[in-house]
A and B are shown apart, each in its own frame.
Chain A
Amino acid sequence: MSDEKKGWKELPIGAILEAGTAKNYKTGDWRHIRPIWNKEKCIQCLRCWIYCPDSSIIIKDGKVDGIDLDHCKGCGICAAECPVKPVKAITMVSEKEIK
């Protein structure tokens, strides 16, 4: 790894980076609980998409299509906001159980 890293003389002045680098930074491994999305129960209200602080609800053609687990930190806001009753369309499951 260290061979690939740049020396100080090669770095841009002022630690400037290209835009949008957060996308390349996988924050998903911080997660200890994982949102499980149930396509059949989902009513496509998009509340999870509105509330997700990490833009991790994947939308395709205006509809929820899954969760970006590379960036989801597992905060559980999507599950808390999901209005579907009695069983929500998004539920949080421990990463330990999944493994």
Chain B
Amino acid sequence: MRKKLAITGNEAVAYAMKQINPDVVAAYPITPATEIVQIFSQYVADGEVNTEFVAVESEHSAMSATIGASAAGSRAMTATSSQGLALMFEMLYIASALRLPIVMPEVNRSLSAPINIHADHSDTMGARDCGWLQIYCENSQEAYDSLIQAVRIAEESLLPIMVTIDGFIISHAMEAVDTFDNKEVQNFIGKYKPAHPLLDIKHPITIGAIDFNDYYFEHKRSQIEAMNNVEPVILKINEEFKKSFGRGYGLFEEYMMQDAETAIVVIGSTAGTAKVAVDNLRKQGKKVGLLRLRVFRPFPAEKLSKALSHLKAVAVLDRSTGMNAYAGPVCTEVASSLYTHSDLPASQQAGKKPKILNYIYGLGGRDIFVEDIQKVYVDLENVAKGEKTEKLINYIGVRE
């Protein structure tokens, strides 16, 4: 039966995991993701799932055990956050290069030092080039839905996927979440048919063999191609999801973008706050829009640049810092995509690209308010009018 539940982000994720009913979950607790596996282990203890639960001694082991389980031929999941993801780092690359369709909820939290348990995107942005797919969710409902979609996306593309929610802001906040019937979820994800299970003793294989300078490059090239081919898979599965459940999500969400002259690009829960800012400014007749980037890997460069290229000015909000990279990670990629993709022929492109501003905000869980975002739109308006930009990188909410 479909039920509307009042649950937190972590509860929504654990509930989705219960309905997915994976064969193996290996996990280690870490704030603010602890509840996900804590609640899930209760489902295991109560016999509500058939999952083999492995309580490991670290996140490195959690990912290792999940890799082993997935390679053996089971549907395997884990969950983590922050330092936990950092400790998994070397194993993340192994999971993706072995093309294991592991699904991992990740609760976004800052990285030490200084020690901090609150939301920012430093953790998953640090893992953005490890060959995992990344979906950033705005709220609990999207996390629940995305996790169910993620099983299909991973298994069809043979790539691991992390589905993220902002620590505490989503993970611990209670919202109404529409949930599906167990059977509906099972029907949607289908029975898992592993591509090359190690436990198929009639077809013995070697995985993880050494690969020197004569073949390593070719294997990496093949892995890149797999990432390149995921975009249509995500969109196709989303269409099926829409048909079954009446809701869906694209690679990114466009809010009031049609006639917008300036826009903010943002990922995660801050999009909710930014939509209020857009609504307020629209009431004043300002032509402002919002683009919420949802799928960061694969990076939808072409579609994204098409959606932004008509604007006069764009502000990209980054909840992590590149530490003297050209800009924050989201801004760097958005700016790059605008530079290399355009509907216009090269001869007409000069001066036609939108001006770009980058705003670093919310590090270590620092709150961002509607007024902060409205101020960004004021900056954008001035830049659109031709005012010179002093700096590419700006900071919201940090004391001077």
Q: Which residues of A contact B (CB under 8 A)?
A: 5-9, 11, 13-21
Tell whether, in the assembled complex, residue B97 and residue A20 are in contact, meaning their CB atoms are under 8 Å apart.
no
Tell me which of B114-122, B208-216, B349-357 binds A. B208-216
Alpha-carbon separation in the docked complex, A8 to B226 (Å): 12
Q: A14-B98, A15-B211 are in contact. Are A20 and B206 (CB under 8 A)?
A: yes
Q: A5-B214, A8-B225 are in contact. Are A15 and B219 (CB under 8 A)?
A: yes
- B-chain residues with CB within 8 Å of residue A19 when the two chains form the complex: 204-206
- A-chain residues with CB within 8 Å of residue B6 when the two chains form the complex: none
In the complex, given contacts A11-B218, A15-B207, A18-B206, what are 7 additional A-B residue pairs having Cβ atoms less than 8 angstroms apart?
A7-B218, A8-B218, A14-B158, A15-B97, A17-B206, A20-B206, A21-B209
Tell whether, in the assembled complex, residue B205 and residue A8 are in contact, meaning their CB atoms are under 8 Å apart.
no
Tell whether, in the assembled complex, residue B225 and residue A16 are in contact, meaning their CB atoms are under 8 Å apart.
no
Tell whether, in the assembled complex, residue B218 and residue A16 are in contact, meaning their CB atoms are under 8 Å apart.
no
Contact partner of A17 among B205, B217, B222, CB < 8 A?
A: B205
- B: contact size bracket: 20 to 34
- A-chain residues with CB within 8 Å of residue B97 when the two chains form the complex: 14-15
Q: A13-B158, A15-B98, A16-B196 are in contact. Are A8 and B207 (CB under 8 A)?
A: no
B221 within 8 A of A: yes
Alpha-carbon separation in the docked complex, A19 to B209 (Å): 10
What mask results when residues 158 to 188 of chain B are scored 1 for a CB within 8 Å of chain A, else 0?
A: 1000000000000000000000000000000
Tell whether, in the assembled complex, residue B218 and residue A18 are in contact, meaning their CB atoms are under 8 Å apart.
no
- 3 A-B pairs with the lowest CB-CB distances in the bound complex, closest first: A19-B204, A14-B99, A8-B218
What mask results when residues 80 to 120 of chain B are scored 1 for a CB within 8 Å of chain A, else 0?
A: 00000000000000000111100000000000000000000
B199 within 8 A of A: no
In whole Å, how far is B257's beta carbon from the nearest beta carbon of chain A? 38
Q: A8-B221, A11-B222 are in contact. Are A16 and B215 (CB under 8 A)?
A: no
Q: Which residue of B lies closest to A10 (CB)?
A: B218
In whole Å, how far is B196's beta carbon from the nearest beta carbon of chain A? 5
- B-chain residues with CB within 8 Å of residue A21 when the two chains form the complex: 206, 209
B195 within 8 A of A: yes
Tell whether, in the assembled complex, residue B222 and residue A20 are in contact, meaning their CB atoms are under 8 Å apart.
no
In whole Å, how far is B91's beta carbon from the nearest beta carbon of chain A? 15
Alpha-carbon separation in the docked complex, A8 to B99 (Å): 15
- A-chain residues with CB within 8 Å of residue B99 when the two chains form the complex: 13-14
Alpha-carbon separation in the docked complex, A80 to B196 (Å): 42
- A-chain residues with CB within 8 Å of residue B226 when the two chains form the complex: 13
Tell whether, in the assembled complex, residue B219 and residue A8 are in contact, meaning their CB atoms are under 8 Å apart.
yes
Q: Which residue of A lies closest to B71 (CB)?
A: A14
- A-chain residues with CB within 8 Å of residue B222 when the two chains form the complex: 8-9, 11, 13
- A-chain residues with CB within 8 Å of residue B218 when the two chains form the complex: 5-8, 11
Alpha-carbon separation in the docked complex, A8 to B218 (Å): 4
In whole Å, how far is B377's beta carbon from the nearest beta carbon of chain A? 46
Alpha-carbon separation in the docked complex, A9 to B208 (Å): 19
- B-chain residues with CB within 8 Å of residue A14 when the two chains form the complex: 97-100, 158, 195-196, 207
